[in-house]
Structure 1
């Protein structure tokens, strides 16, 4: 196959066409600056969820009694002291404006009861209005860098294999996180495979808090094509209970006072313990039961869930329980960025959304996840515009382009006997077993040894381009991304010898005050500890009057 392909140029390239990428691209386009958005799938969200009817509206800044200082205090408290203070203050101050800006989009107002789906729809429609070019089948294999300065990206078309070289003054990574590394995840197939982490690190950036991954307790176990789809936490508020295979309401053992209404990470840990100790279902989950509730209560409070489970499993939740299990949902860590503009260690490279780190620390509030992408979508888009405008010349390197081209050519000629999909499954197994909901030193060390073995086998990979397209080639790059992201996660989890937020160590069950630091990782330097910025006195005073145990989880 000829490697001659498309040559494109733009001021700003956004890699990723989910909500965070679209918001950043819109900001650039509205500034009158040329922008291209590239992604390996059609624009949309990267996580799947069944809501109770509407996403909880606490996710929008609609509480008149909540000041931005109170919101900041709440976010910092829930982060278990690991969030970047400046990032939190940025979001807390700017989220009302970011939300109200969305109200200019008619489709958002129409669907605002379903906040996130309405947001995705509105952003896509606005991008279409602005005629932002979308390369929806482009798999980016490498960012183009010369002497620490970004100048574009290289990739191939997933259907016909044609190559793309996109020259750009600035690049914004918005490709999600790495939750697809676990066997059960709310991410769609092919999304959140750690691509953004690998691209950033290969370009010269670092990762921060890769060990911090949010596991939600209510992920569906079946059917296979919907496994990991999240059931809204509203099932607990409605009176849903969790049972093991003995019919016991096991949360009595773990939190007898709050039971299913305790923090989601505690529920996930309890479910994990029941499954590991042999009291789980045949499918490897536990039972979520609402059959004790009046039928009208379920139909009124959980109409979306009721209908969805009839469609997916032919299960009527007013009569029968449904299997659920802890599910990797959100990468709280990600690419190291500066809080003021989400720039990275590489000049001209920015990151936003789940790709970036800093805002959430050790725990992510459900409602803050969409607000993050709205606020920082605006900030990072404007930062990329300003960076491009400030350049006096355009960086180029034929050598960097040739290296990217040669990498793809070499893989296309690879005819080894190692199966890429089998190795991907091996990574998911080891991450689930060694770095899942509950971790310990021996398991993390064993996971790194298993990862070494997988990495050595990668030299014998075979790539088979079939009539259906170049998906097999994409799987190889997905595997590279998974291995790098897995190593960062395992090494960071090993270094964090404590239990804090979403990171639970059975061998270090308590919080270590000395580890109120971020774990920053690179393949050459390994893990280093970075101090967290101090909290302003007025915000700290508000935090002292709040209780993490009684705080709402949205």
Structure 2
């Protein structure tokens, strides 16, 4: 098999991946952008397109933004990463605009108080809205990649990272269109593979590609992960019809000054939602639903009607309309829901993964030659991400990872590929089409998704988590006997099989990390440990591979990589 040679391979072609790839290429590196989806897809494409900045208002300084990040993240953020995010947030819209994105501007062509938004958890208006939302961002990313001097391989899923001498040497992947393995030799890999929301389908608003690949790939190669138990649930998503379960309906900052949360019997649970974080609202909702206080559809009631009586409330309706959320409400619940004339039936949905690969300020992981950016990386957000910071993070840390990776590649020799390991991996891949085992991969994927929602969902308990660990082990045993159709080209069962293996590994790390953290903090809610415990647990949980198995360590926040 031919071996392709590059200085850098960037895996993932959303905002972080494209930004890293074109930045590294501009710095002189020979770059391959490899993605299992088309360029500009991933969760970037389905976002509402709101990007955090800083300094639009004179009182909004990086120090203020930093405080918001750390308070919102309940003090699990890596301070160095949060500081970078706050100090460079203003670069994010500029980077996006350099790629071709257009942002809403005022009559003078500037970004000012009049066009800025205050997203969830932020003290001030500091976020800006991309025209065309996520699709506009995605189209700009695709165009930017086309203009850049990079090679592209789409519809290709990475199967394993290769190491030699304790550092990155390359990777093995599967080209879905060609139906054949791909081997790449490179001293640097950037993981920009996104999150893991699809492990909770249908209770997620994430893309089908968000299967947690990068976490498993990095872990297997020897990189450290941090706070993998911190899976963010957005509080407001559709509960019905079945085809729309989990679809995003908004976050606390969108619900206006008079938004109220009611239980299934109409009893008021929360007011003042507008100023609360996602974690604060989702936590209350999850606990009420656990008590059985929900509606017949398994949700609670978001009552926005009183907003129509005030100018600021009507402005909140207009904002929801502009970002497309009212259209979703109308499709799910009808015209009265669109007009805020009746409450919405809502429930938490998996939206974002705060944990991830442990990085430094330049995106470098603990494994030499391996970098990470975007949702694949952990530490920026701590235990709860603020609204609109995810998109800003893509551009800020995508750029940083691209620059650092290019510098590393310039000074690095090119380690040889571990030929036996690479050949074995390629041969295993080539043998997947037509394999005649017992289980279809998609059937096991669906079992894993149900397991994660039931055992490692919005409210967790030791009994359920232990059951989850045991059931994941059973699924892993079943995954050793797969049945896949014989087609080689565009055989999506091969994709399912590759993702299943990586999902099983990521799910196990998430579950065991959740079992380890014996407190409630941020997105992680333990029914058996219902309170935050700063004395014991204001600390990061670091996952690393040791003697072929998972080792978890509790370490000071923001400790050495």
Q: Is residue 2:111 matched to residue 1:86?
A: no
| Matching residue within 495, 518, 536 for 1:514 | 536
Q: Is residue 2:8 matched to residue 1:12?
A: yes
Residues 343-382 of structure 1: matches in 2 within 5 Å? 343-382=364-403
Cα offsets for 1:375-415 (capped at 9, x unmatched) = 11111101111111002344333223202212213433531
What is the TM-score with the length of structure 1 in the denominator?
0.86
Distance change >3 Å, CA 453–CA 106, structure 1 → 2: closer
Q: CA contact under 8 A between 2:440 and 2:482: conserved in structure 1? A: yes
Q: Is residue 2:439 matched to residue 1:404?
A: no
The equivalent residue for 2:320 is 302
The equivalent residue for 2:101 is 107
Q: What is the CA-CA distance between 1:212 and the residue it aligns to?
A: 0.6
Q: CA contact under 8 A between 1:154 and 1:165: conserved in structure 2? A: yes
Distance change >3 Å, CA 222–CA 49, structure 1 → 2: farther
Q: CA contact under 8 A between 1:216 and 1:268: conserved in structure 2? A: yes
The equivalent residue for 2:112 is none
The equivalent residue for 1:384 is 405
User: Which SS does the other structure have where 2:129 is aligned?
Assistant: coil
Give the whole-Å Cα distance in 2 for the aligned partners of 1:277 and 1:417: 39
Give the whole-Å Cα distance in 2 for the aligned partners of 1:416 and 1:504: 39
Q: CA contact under 8 A between 1:50 and 1:232: conserved in structure 2? A: no
Gaps of 5+ in 2: 106-127
The equivalent residue for 2:18 is 22
Give the whole-Å Cα distance in 1 for the aligned partners of 2:336 and 2:486: 43
Q: What is the CA-CA distance between 1:123 and the residue it aligns to?
A: 2.9
Residues 528-539 of structure 1: matches in 2 within 5 Å? 528-533=553-558
Give the whole-Å Cα distance in 2 for the aligned partners of 1:204 and 1:57: 33
The equivalent residue for 2:205 is 186
Give the whole-Å Cα distance in 1 for the aligned partners of 2:278 and 2:268: 15
Q: What is the CA-CA distance between 1:527 and the residue it aligns to?
A: 0.8
Give the whole-Å Cα distance in 1 for the aligned partners of 2:158 and 2:238: 31
What is the TM-score with the length of structure 2 in the denominator?
0.85
The equivalent residue for 1:138 is 156
| Matching residue within 437, 444, 458 for 1:423 | 444
Give the whole-Å Cα distance in 2 for the aligned partners of 1:313 and 1:466: 41
| Matching residue within 282, 289, 298 for 1:275 | 289
The equivalent residue for 2:165 is 147
Give the whole-Å Cα distance in 1 for the aligned partners of 2:304 and 2:45: 18
Q: What is the CA-CA distance between 1:105 and the residue it aligns to?
A: 4.4
| Matching residue within 193, 201, 204 for 1:175 | 193
Residues 143-542 of structure 1: matches in 2 within 5 Å? 143-183=161-201, 184-189=203-208, 191-233=209-251, 234-237=253-256, 239-246=258-265, 248-251=266-269, 255=270, 258=272, 261-291=275-305, 293-294=307-308, 297=314, 300-303=318-321, 304-311=324-331, 314-317=334-337, 318=339, 319-337=341-359, 339-466=360-487, 469-512=490-533, 513-523=535-545, 524-533=549-558
Q: Is residue 2:90 matched to residue 1:96?
A: yes
Distance change >3 Å, CA 245–CA 482, structure 1 → 2: same
Q: CA contact under 8 A between 2:10 and 2:32: conserved in structure 1? A: yes
The equivalent residue for 1:537 is none
User: Which SS does the other structure have where 1:381 is aligned?
Assistant: helix
Q: What is the CA-CA distance between 1:182 and the residue it aligns to?
A: 1.5
Give the whole-Å Cα distance in 1 for the aligned partners of 2:496 and 2:449: 14
Q: CA contact under 8 A between 1:80 and 1:363: conserved in structure 2? A: yes
The equivalent residue for 1:125 is 143
Cα offsets for 1:100-123 (capped at 9, x unmatched) = 343434533469633763544433
Q: What is the CA-CA distance between 1:315 and the residue it aligns to?
A: 4.3
Q: CA contact under 8 A between 1:145 and 1:152: conserved in structure 2? A: yes
Q: CA contact under 8 A between 2:455 and 2:468: conserved in structure 1? A: yes
Give the whole-Å Cα distance in 2 for the aligned partners of 1:76 and 1:260: 19
User: Which SS does the other structure have where 1:71 is aligned?
Assistant: helix
Cα offsets for 1:320-341 (capped at 9, x unmatched) = 443321111111001122x232
Give the whole-Å Cα distance in 1 for the aligned partners of 2:558 and 2:372: 20
User: Which SS does the other structure have where 2:382 is aligned?
Assistant: coil
Give the whole-Å Cα distance in 1 for the aligned partners of 2:263 and 2:486: 45
Give the whole-Å Cα distance in 1 for the aligned partners of 2:277 and 2:90: 26
Note the aligned Cα RMSD (angstroms). 2.8
Count of equivalent residues: 522
Q: Is residue 2:69 matched to residue 1:75?
A: yes
User: Which SS does the other structure have where 1:408 is aligned?
Assistant: helix
Give the whole-Å Cα distance in 1 for the aligned partners of 2:460 and 2:217: 27
User: Which SS does the other structure have where 1:460 is aligned?
Assistant: coil
Gaps of 5+ in 1: 535-554
Q: What is the CA-CA distance between 1:369 and the residue it aligns to?
A: 1.6
Q: What is the CA-CA distance between 1:272 and the residue it aligns to?
A: 2.4
Cα offsets for 1:409-458 (capped at 9, x unmatched) = 34335311123222212212221122111111111111111112111212
User: Which SS does the other structure have where 2:453 is aligned?
Assistant: helix
